[in-house]
Amino acid sequence: MNVQVFATRGERTRAHIVSVAAGLFWRRNFHGVAVDEVASAAEVNKATIYRYFADKRDLALAVVKQHGAATLEMVFQSSAEHNAAPEARLAGIYYHIYSVHAELCEEEGDVHGCPIVGLALELGQDMPEVRVEAARIFDAVEAHMREIAADAIASGHAAGDPKMLGRTLTQLLHGAFTSARLSSEPERILDAGYASLSLIGFPETDILDPKAN
Amino acid sequence: MNVQVFATRGERTRAHIVSVAAGLFWRRNFHGVAVDEVASAAEVNKATIYRYFADKRDLALAVVKQHGAATLEMVFQSSAEHNAAPEARLAGIYYHIYSVHAELCEEEGDVHGCPIVGLALELGQDMPEVRVEAARIFDAVEAHMREIAADAIASGHAAGDPKMLGRTLTQLLHGAFTSARLSSEPERILDAGYASLSLIGFPETDILDPKAN
Amino acid sequence: MNVQVFATRGERTRAHIVSVAAGLFWRRNFHGVAVDEVASAAEVNKATIYRYFADKRDLALAVVKQHGAATLEMVFQSSAEHNAAPEARLAGIYYHIYSVHAELCEEEGDVHGCPIVGLALELGQDMPEVRVEAARIFDAVEAHMREIAADAIASGHAAGDPKMLGRTLTQLLHGAFTSARLSSEPERILDAGYASLSLIGFPETDILDPKAN
Amino acid sequence: MNVQVFATRGERTRAHIVSVAAGLFWRRNFHGVAVDEVASAAEVNKATIYRYFADKRDLALAVVKQHGAATLEMVFQSSAEHNAAPEARLAGIYYHIYSVHAELCEEEGDVHGCPIVGLALELGQDMPEVRVEAARIFDAVEAHMREIAADAIASGHAAGDPKMLGRTLTQLLHGAFTSARLSSEPERILDAGYASLSLIGFPETDILDPKAN
DNA sequence: GATGAATGAGACTTCATTCAT
DNA sequence: GATGAATGAAGTCTCATTCAT
């Protein structure tokens, strides 16, 4: 896992703003957060934000890009590196996501779903770049899922077309976020995880059991 | 199928406003639509809206309730009545949703996803009622899916727990909306439809083929 | 002299805002006056201003139009109606302008020049409509001047081309404003007045003497 | 004609900034130009500007002073040196001004008028020094005009008081700038030039004909 | 001494919402 | 009861100016 190091002070400030904004947008939506709040949460002046971003929407785009990259890095790549078996990789992904959401839900009583999708849905209409960027990120997710599917098929656990299976796994992931958020039940993420494992030929596993991990 | 009839003029006005608002919120998001626009699109005075709804968010809640009821009625109930076989019922649901989205996408070049989820995600944070109402609606959806699953299991096509299968089918539906919206490709709804049919034991069907319908 | 009466409440509000803004812009320039100040000086809410004007510049355009019309009405038309002789008409115009400026200068110690020209110079670059509207107004002024010139020529007092003479009289009027404003001496307006009278064949008159009027 | 030579590097930098700012303020007004733009146009760091000038208005004051001095030098002094006859001196002044404006108007489609007056009108209210400095400069202009008038009277071409005639010539020059700027017609400067020549006793001349020069 | 980074204060503008006819 | 008019409270953004390296 690469950790990006920022040479200049400006780059650090910019990245800091993006990451603070990501947290706020995730928790309270794009329209629910004022630029003033981002500024004070990031402990910078509002004008500093506008030094690095053309406007508020541009900040959201940066959030999608940076957060998307970081998440792909953290969740998918690392799970691919550490776990050879496809079922373990899939479980790693779901377990990671579940943990984050369960923890935050405990603290705040709400499930916030996928921040990238959240921003894309809220801004997609008047800022297509955000939607396109989100689509690009989930294309990458789907590629990961496709590899998992291909491995499972190759090892004889699953059958069918890896392309379609990868897509279904991805859609199920989307559904996991949405359904957990609507119901405020993070466990629904685990449900989707088990269903996904089943789809690649591993039903009846308890690999995702929170108590076991 | 029940058709609700509005006796008084006020009830008709109210329903008209809700339905106009539903269309606008769907296409351009809650925050993207000003109350003024709702008023002029519905051809009523803005103050009239405030006669029927406490505030804009209350209007959104009404949209979720009314639209949710109508959709359940239209998509799910009717498909249950007309089609005995579970695969046909599932296909009916997906085909209906696909048609609406494909048509709108032709006209506007964008896939708008599920309006109920859209509002719930946008307002859920500062208006939990909307999220709760949306959750209730999708509980009903899940109940439908569970019945379909149960029928498929009963007829020997599918195996497993109808409860879990119903949930997976529901999550896949959520994923269908999200993924179609992000990619602007309505066909992704069909992908999820086929995956769902496969999950209940009907792979390799072309029951959803647009050309066949 | 026509006094315009505004039927509706909105029209009155709008006209009131314009006239308050005209005064402020005249005294402190377009950029020196905040919309907040216009609002509080007019005793309306800021949002009311934006109900009637697209933006601040649009308000300035309205000022130019309304003030231009009013001034032409008040200064030029009325002087034309009441005074048959060209020299009297010219003197009437200058005397009126001088009085206004002298009075205001006494109160505030500054000569503010022509408000229309002031706005046109300040906004002309990024809002050509203002400059064009100002040009239109001064075309009308020049037409008045041309008539005065023509009458003076017809009566044998002046010689030359009424068109060129009208233009020169107009330019001298512009110069009167500018030079009085730069020097903070309203009397320079009278200087230009005497020079103008001389140009139409009436040197050595004391028709503009403040003490005589 | 004196050419000022700057010994130190700092003096050169300062003069360079002033001259760049002069051009920008002239073309786009004081408020239309950000300090950032001056800095990047002058290819210096913004903080460098604040090393030489207390604030933006102070820069404007320097522009008025430097540009005023340079213009007086260039336009008036030189015309006085090279042309003995008053009508030739006057024509030289007008022709010079006209040429500059006509050329710029070809390039940019706009007549920018007198930069000194422009700044003075825009800043006069909250920075009297600028207005006072502009007044001082135009007192010098008037002195030149008075000399021309005196010479014309001495040679029998014109009659009247040289003081008043000088003032009128100066006001007509102001009017030339204003009227050309409002109408976007540089030729109006020539109109004023001919009128001025006529005022000092040289009607019917074509000394200003662009084709002849 | 020069430069990128940061700031404070205030500008304009837009809502959702309520008033008064 | 319906409608045009009005409002308050924010919100986004910009700019001149100063800091720290």
How would you write chain B as a 3-class SS string?
Answer: CCCCCCCCHHHHHHHHHHHHHHHHHHHHCCCCCCHHHHHHHHCCCHHHHHHHCCCHHHHHHHHHHHHHHHHHHHHHHHHHHHCCCHHHHHHHHHHHHHHHHHHHHHHHCCCCCCHHHHHHHHHCCCCHHHHHHHHHHHHHHHHHHHHHHHHHHHCCCCCCCHHHHHHHHHHHHHHHHHHHHHHCCCHHHHHHHHHHHHHCCCCCCCCCCHHHC
Work out the number of other CB atoms within 10 angstroms of the CB of residue D96.
16
Q: Give the pLDDT confidence score for residue B31 in this predicted structure.
A: 95
Q: H-type helices in chain D, by residue range?
A: 9-28, 35-42, 46-52, 56-71, 78-82, 86-108, 115-123, 128-154, 162-183, 187-199
Q: Is B74 on the interface with A (CB under 8 A)?
A: no
Q: Which of B32, B124, B182 sits opposite A135 (nearest CB)?
A: B182
The nearest CA of chain B is from the CA of A5 a distance in Å of 31
Q: What is the pLDDT of residues C117-135, one digit of tens each?
A: 999 999 998 899 999 999 9
Q: Are D193 and D91 in contact (CB under 8 A)?
A: yes
Q: Which of residues 14-73 of A touch strand F (CB under 7 A)?
A: 33-36, 46-47, 50, 55-57
- Residue C31 pLDDT exceeds 90: yes
Q: Which residues on C lie below 8 Å from D192 (Cβ)?
A: 168, 171
Q: Is the CB of C13 under 7 A from strand F?
A: yes
Token pair of C19 as six digits: 């006239």
Q: In the predicted model, what is the mean pLDDT of residues C78-97?
A: 86
Contacts of A16 by beta carbon, 8 Å cutoff, 6+ apart = A42, A44
CB pairs under 8 A between C and D: 134
- Residue D212 pLDDT exceeds 70: no
Q: Give the pLDDT confidence score for residue C134 in this predicted structure.
A: 96
Q: Give the pLDDT confidence score for residue C81 in this predicted structure.
A: 74
Q: In the predicted model, what is the mean pLDDT of residues B192-200?
A: 96
The spacing between the Cα labelled CA in D19 and the C1' in F19, in angstroms, equals 28
Q: Is B10 on the interface with A (CB under 8 A)?
A: no
The nearest CA of chain D is from the CA of C28 a distance in Å of 6
Q: In the predicted model, what is the mean pLDDT of residues D90-116?
A: 93
Nucleotides of strand E under 7 angstroms from a protein beta carbon: 2-20
Q: Give the pLDDT confidence score for residue B71 in this predicted structure.
A: 85
Q: What is the mean pLDDT of chain D?
A: 90
Q: In the predicted model, what is the mean pLDDT of residues B102-130?
A: 93
Q: What is the mean pLDDT of chain B?
A: 90
- Residue D159 pLDDT exceeds 70: yes
Q: What is the pLDDT of residues B31-84, one digit of tens each?
A: 999 999 999 999 999 999 999 999 999 999 999 999 888 888 888 777 777 767
Q: Is C170 on the interface with D (CB under 8 A)?
A: yes
- Residue C2 pLDDT exceeds 60: no
The Cα–Cα gap between B143 and B158 comes to 17
The Cα–Cα gap between C45 and C39 comes to 6
Burial class (CB in 10 A: 0-12, 13-18, 19+), D95: buried
- The residue assigned the tokens 């008053």 is D86
Q: Is C28 on the interface with D (CB under 8 A)?
A: yes
Domain C57-208 fold is Tetracycline Repressor; domain 2 (1.10.357)
- Residue C183 pLDDT exceeds 60: yes
Work out the number of other CB atoms within 10 angstroms of the CB of residue A65.
18
Q: Which residues on A lie below 8 Å from B134 (Cβ)?
A: 182
Q: Is C90 on the interface with D (CB under 8 A)?
A: no
Cα D16 to its chain centre, rounded Å, is: 19
Cα A3 to its chain centre, rounded Å, is: 18
Q: Give the pLDDT confidence score for residue A143 in this predicted structure.
A: 94
Q: Give the pLDDT confidence score for residue C117 in this predicted structure.
A: 96
pTM: 0.89
Q: What is the pLDDT of residues B145-184, one digit of tens each?
A: 999 999 999 999 999 999 999 999 999 999 999 999 999 9
Residue of B nearest to A197 (CA): B168
Rounded average pLDDT per 10-residue block, chain A, 213 residues: 63 94 96 96 96 96 93 81 85 94 92 95 93 96 95 94 97 98 96 96 78 59
- Residue C6 pLDDT exceeds 70: no
Q: In the predicted model, what is the mean pLDDT of residues D152-179?
A: 96
- Residue B212 pLDDT exceeds 70: no
Amino acid found at A147 = E
Band of residue D210 on the pLDDT scale cut at 50, 70, 90: low
Contacts of A191 by beta carbon, 8 Å cutoff, 6+ apart = A176, B164, B167, B168, B171
Q: Where are the domains of chain C?
A: 57-208
Q: Is B16 on the interface with A (CB under 8 A)?
A: no
Contacts of C15 by beta carbon, 8 Å cutoff, 6+ apart = C6, C66
- Residue B7 pLDDT exceeds 50: yes
Q: Who has greater pLDDT, C132 or D210? A: C132
Q: What is the pLDDT of residues B111-122, one digit of tens each?
A: 999 999 999 999
Per cent of chain B over pLDDT 90 is 78
Q: Are C134 and C121 in contact (CB under 8 A)?
A: no
Q: Are A95 and A213 in contact (CB under 8 A)?
A: yes
Residue of C nearest to D124 (CA): C182
Q: Give the pLDDT confidence score for residue B2 in this predicted structure.
A: 45
Token pair of C59 as six digits: 């308000």
The Cα–Cα gap between C124 and B47 comes to 40
Closest by CA position to B175, among listed B207, B199, B148: B199
Instruction: List the subunits that have 3+ CB pairs under 8 angstroms with A.
Output: B
Band of residue D76 on the pLDDT scale cut at 50, 70, 90: confident
Token pair of B30 as six digits: 């809650």
